[in-house]
Amino acid sequence: MDNPSALPSSSRRGTPAGWQTCEEVEHRNEILLAGRVIAEPSVRELHNGGQLVTWRIAVNRPSSKRRPRQEADPITCVSFHRDMVELTRDWRIGDTVQVTGALRRRFWRSVHGAASVFEVEAKTARRVKAADSSAVTSRGCQ
């Protein structure tokens, strides 16, 4: 084509067809996870009187020839919502859960210098299946 402006915007900028460019879409940070609980929720009291609940889940990966031994990704989830403490209280290792939230990077000073970790800050959570039964519970925190 003689006129580059006649091309779809995605083709001009090298963006895959159907995708929007940064100028065309708002920034988003949304996570949806489903996996097995591998560390039961624990609650920590904060200096401001609030509570922080933390748990870990393992999310299975599709099988891969590149990494045949890494079958799942362990992911730390946290929440500052007061209701989440109660919602996760009866979760046990092996339960299947679903979590929505946002990816966050937390920084702190350690004896070895600055350190950081990525976590999912949970907005909603529900147990889909208990480890020892097929009971389904649906609870969330907004």
What average pLDDT is seen over the chain?
A: 84
Write out pLDDT tens, residues 75-87. Answer: 999 999 989 999 9
For residue 134, what are its two tokens? 């097929």
Size of the chain in residues: 142
Structural domain 27-129, CATH architecture = Beta Barrel (2.40)
pTM assigned to the model: 0.73
Give Cα separations from 119 to 6, 56, 103 (angstroms). Answer: 43, 10, 6
Amino acid making up residue 137: T
Q: In which element (H, E) is residue 86 found?
A: helix 82-88
Q: 119 pLDDT exceeds 50?
A: yes
Which positions ≥6 away from 15 have C-beta within 8 Å?
9, 21
Q: How confident is the model at residue 137 (pLDDT cuts 50, 70, 90)?
A: very low
Predicted local confidence at residue 25, as pLDDT: 78
Write out pLDDT tens, residues 39-76. Answer: 999 999 999 999 999 999 999 988 777 767 788 999 99
Q: What are phi and psi of 83, to 5 degrees?
A: -65, -30
